[in-house]
Amino acid sequence: MSGVREVGMEGSGLRSGAASGEPEASREVRWSARRKEQVVLRLLRGESLDLLARETGQPAGRIASWREEFLAAGREGLKSRPLPAEERALQDAQRKIGELSMQVDILEALLEKKGHPQWPRRSR
């Protein structure tokens, strides 16, 4: 046993405790989809992101990304023909490749403008 336990889902279901008494910030507790959903729904109902972050011990950026994932999945569910999970993953990967490709092009142009060779030589 790792010394980390989750408190039951009664109440808000957002807090966790440690048998060892170590500070909450130093523990890593796995968050279930249900717990994340509860936090996201509270956020969507108008509760403050900062308040939820303090209460749950999760960074505000992580909670915001949960909200974005939740909304994206909801949009997909409202389509008349939702894409299979594999197709969504492929589209996300293709979108990311496009973003990274544009970043590489921009960086190469900046390097060329500064007079650096496009591909630095490596010594062997």
Whole-angstrom Cα distance, residue 42 to residue 48? 9
User: Residue 48: what residue type?
Assistant: S
The architecture in CATH of the region 1-82 reads Orthogonal Bundle (1.10)
Element (H, E) at 110: helix 85-113
Question: Each residue of 33-50: pLDDT tens digit?
Answer: 899 999 999 999 999 999
Which two tokens mark 118? 């496009």
Whole-angstrom Cα distance, residue 109 to residue 9? 53
Whole-angstrom Cα distance, residue 62 to residue 35? 13
Question: Each residue of 85-103: pLDDT tens digit?
Answer: 888 889 889 999 999 999 9
Is-above-0.75 flag for pTM? no
Angle at 20 between CA 15 and CA 26, to 5 degrees: 60
